[in-house]
A = this chain, B = another copy of it.
Amino acid sequence: MKNNFDNANRRKKPQDNDRMMEVSIDCVVFGYGVQSLEVMLIEIGAEELQGSWALPGDLVYPQEDIDEAAHRVLRDLTGLAHIPLQQAHAFGEADRVPGRRVVTIGYYAIVNKLDVQPQPSHWANKAQWFSLDDIPELTFDHADIIRYALDKLRHRTQHSTRRRPLWEAVLPQFFTLSELQQFFEVVLNRSYDKGNFRKKLHEMPYLVETELFQEDVSHRPARLFTYDHTIHETHIAS
């Protein structure tokens, strides 16, 4: 086994470490709430960066996949588990971390703020939500990583109809069309016409109408819909 060499570096043996570096993960978790989109940050509770705000991130272990690492890091620092993280971009400026060489891979996700309860642990002192227009000074290039992740989040919300929709992880199992519309309005920061938005949704066969209705609202109760992933997949295939 130790005699297998990556073609990417054929003149070096694996045990030579003069070309090794650290690889980290940074997670951009967006918190969806009523009329607001926030991002989860942690306060560092150790060593010289103590008191600084940063994205939840840590080094990748040699024996784990980067996707696994993303989940572990987020869970260890904030307590958030089973979050559908997506890779956004790798950041690899040589001087992005002063005095060290760390290549980081940015991941992003969106969750419902009501569904999660941030629990800082390990070297995270605090873990809390920050409004997107009120982000504190962050370590290193973390502000860039957030910008990039927000771009991807918006792009994917608008375009990719061929993958499991992001709102599926945010909305309850049964939801109204207005709730879905709000998701788009909050994430994309624009507003839609109610009737027209509804028309477009009716062309999505994987958005299935149930016989359930809203309760305890002081107006006409809306019909509840649900997302059917099986229908979505067969729809993509055709």
Contact B123 A10 (CB under 8 A): yes
Closest chain-B Cβ to A67's Cβ sits at a distance in Å of 7
Task: Provide the residues of chain B in CB contact with A25, threshold 8 Å.
Answer: 8
A-side interface size class:
35 or more
User: Any chain B CB within 8 A of the CB of A194?
Assistant: no
**How far is A159 from B20 in the complex, measured between Cα atoms in Å?**
37
CB distance A10 to B46 under 8 Å? yes
Q: Does A139 contact B (CB under 8 A)?
A: yes
Distance between A162 CB and nearest chain B CB, rounded to angstroms: 11
Which chain B residue lies CB-closest to A4?
A: B99
Contact of A23 with B60 in the complex, beta carbons under 8 Å? no
User: In the docked arrangement, what's the CA distance between A17 and B62, Å?
Assistant: 10
Q: Is the CB of B94 within 8 A of A62?
A: yes
The answer, yes or no, to whether A195 is at the interface (CB within 8 Å) is: no
A93 CB → nearest B CB, Å: 5
Instruction: Tell me which residues across on chain B come within 8 A of A192, comparing CB atoms.
Output: none
Interface residue A181 (Cβ < 8 Å from any Cβ of B): no
Q: Does A35 contact B (CB under 8 A)?
A: no
Question: Could you tell me which A residues sit within 8 Å of B by CB distance?
Answer: 1-12, 14, 17-26, 44, 46-49, 52, 54, 57-67, 69, 87, 89-90, 92-94, 97-105, 123, 139-140, 159
